[in-house]
Amino acid sequence: MSQEREELLKLLSNEELDLFILTGGIDMDVADQMRENVIGITKIPIGVAENFVINGNPAIIPIATEEKSVIMQASIGAGLVLEGFTASTSGNIMIGQIQVLDVPDLDAAEEAVLAEKEALLFDANTISRTRKAVDLQVKRLDTEVGKMLIVEIFADVRDSMGANLIDSMCELLAPTIAGITGGRPLLRILSNLATRRIVTVTVRVPVETMGSIVIDDIIAADAFAWADPYRASTSNKGVMNGVIGVLLATSNDTRAVEAGAHSYASITGTYRPLTKWSKDENGDLVGVLETPMGIGTVGGVIQSHKLAKVVLRLMNVETASDLAMIAGSVGLACNLGALYIMVTEGIKSIQA
Ligand code: MEV
């Protein structure tokens, strides 16, 4: 048994251990309240990854995955980095979109919406005492069914995922926006491309640890991914092995994060990797991951999911930003671990 696994088990009460081993955190009554037409509960193994130090703090990382070797890829990657993972987030702003059709005069409508910006934000902010709309912008799209106006609301959703809040704000403002623009609001919904909620993680692997040949090979493998979407897709899948593993264990909306990550990967018009590997002036390998992370540590399913709460406690997570930095670090570790194995022994060596 690994040291991390032993340590983790010691941190759990008997009741919490039962959550891991027996119930998976929810029973049929809770499941019934959560979703429609419930007929059962699925279970996925949770393992603990080793060697993680994030922003100077050793971290216990539970990862939920059905795939063999993901936890090993994460642990190998984390074991290679020298000072651990340096992670930061850009904030907790999520974006909502109100689509407005049949606008008689787009110039006048745009101007009028912007002139009413403060009043619109004031109205949006009647929904929550603590989570506030902070900005509103307007853009125009020329689509296959004609021109349309898109009003975007930016709100600080703090430690929630934010979908409910943003959707409510969009629905609340839509009739007023109809009045201002003379148009017909259609969709009023969150965007999962959370470009104002980005996590950035960097690592360094000393040339003494890995050797310059392996470093050059990892850079060549990375160059392949930057030049070819077929490889970039698989590289990003490896990143998401780690990101989603952490988010699944904390009952987050993993589809939202997958959608955000892949749309961010193609934001330039070409699908790219979420990670980049290069060499610094010492010949050390330097890696960076940048991806949107629209996740929460309060609200939604997390509220009723006992196991998710225990997992958050084990990881010392207090805020959504803490969780984003952990998930991002695990994603970068999985990418590094996979690249290291693939350029040396080959992936089958750890899947046997
Ligand atoms: C497998 O789940 C993930 C890898 O394919 C990632 C990669 O190729 O970078 C090993």
- Whether 170 and 48 map to the same domain: the answer is no
Atom of ligand 1 nearest to the CA of 70: 2
For ligand 1, pick from 342, 343, 344, 345 the residue to mutate: most ligand atoms within 8 Å of CB. 342
Q: Examine the domain organization and report whether 45 and 29 are in the same domain.
A: yes
**Quick one: pLDDT band at residue 6, thresholds 50, 70, 90?**
confident
Domain that holds residue 187: 93-191
Could you say which of 191, 211, 227 is where a domain stops? 191
Do both 248 and 293 map to the same domain? Answer: yes
User: Residue 95 and residue 91: Cα distance in Å, rounded?
Assistant: 12
Residues 227 and 172 in one domain: no
Question: Is 128 close to ligand 1, i.e. is its CB under 6 Å away?
Answer: no
**Mean pLDDT across the stretch 46-55?**
95
349 lines ligand 1 (CB under 6 A): no
Render pLDDT for 167-176 as a digit per residue (tens, 0 to 9).
999 999 999 9
231 CB near ligand 1 (under 6 Å): no
> What value does the mean pLDDT take over residues 250-254?
95
pTM of the model: 0.95
Q: What is the pLDDT of residue 31?
A: 84
Query: Are 169 and 216 part of one and the same domain?
Result: no
Q: Are residues 124 and 160 in the same domain?
A: yes
Among 138, 164, 191, the domain-final residue is: 191
Distance between CA atoms of 17 and 227, rounded to whole angstroms? Answer: 46
Distance 237 CA to ligand 1 centre (A): 6
**Residue of the nearest CA to atom 4 in ligand 1?**
238
CA–centroid distance, 284 to ligand 1, in Å, is 23
Residues 184 and 239 in one domain: no
How far, in Å, CA of 191 to CA of 152, rounded? 9
* Best CA proximity match to 242, nearest among 347, 314, 348, 336: 336
Do 336 and 230 have their domain in common? Answer: yes
CA of 273 to the centre of ligand 1 (A): 12
Residue 127 pLDDT > 80: yes
Show Cβ contacts of residue 161 under 8 Å, excluding neighbours closer than 6 positions. Answer: 94, 252, 253, 256, 294, 295, 296, 299, 300, 320
**Domain identity same for 153 and 97:** yes
Average model confidence (pLDDT) for the chain? 94
Check whether residue 204 and residue 82 sit in a common domain: yes
Higher pLDDT, 350 or 248: 248
Tokens of 277: 């590997």
> What local confidence, expressed as pLDDT, does residue 300 receive?
75
CA of 141 to the centre of ligand 1 (A): 37
CATH number of the domain to which 327 belongs:
3.90.770.10
Position 234 scores a pLDDT of 98
Single out the residue in 156, 191, 226 at which a domain terminates: 191
Nearest-5° angle of CA 45, CA 344, CA 231? 70
Q: For residue 38, what are the CA distances in angstroms to 30, 33, 191?
A: 10, 9, 28
Confidence check: pLDDT of 103 > 70 = yes
Backbone angles phi, psi at 279, to 5 degrees: -110, 140
* Same-domain pairing of 78 and 108: no
Please give the tally of structural domains in the chain: 2
pLDDT of residue 47: 94
- Are 77 and 219 contained in the same domain? yes
Return the pLDDT at 1.
57
In tens, the pLDDT along 257-308 reads: 999 999 999 999 999 999 999 999 999 999 999 999 999 999 877 777 888 9
pLDDT at 262: 98
> What CATH number does residue 128 fall under?
3.30.70.420
Question: Which atom number of ligand 1 is nearest to the Cα of residue 225?
Answer: 9
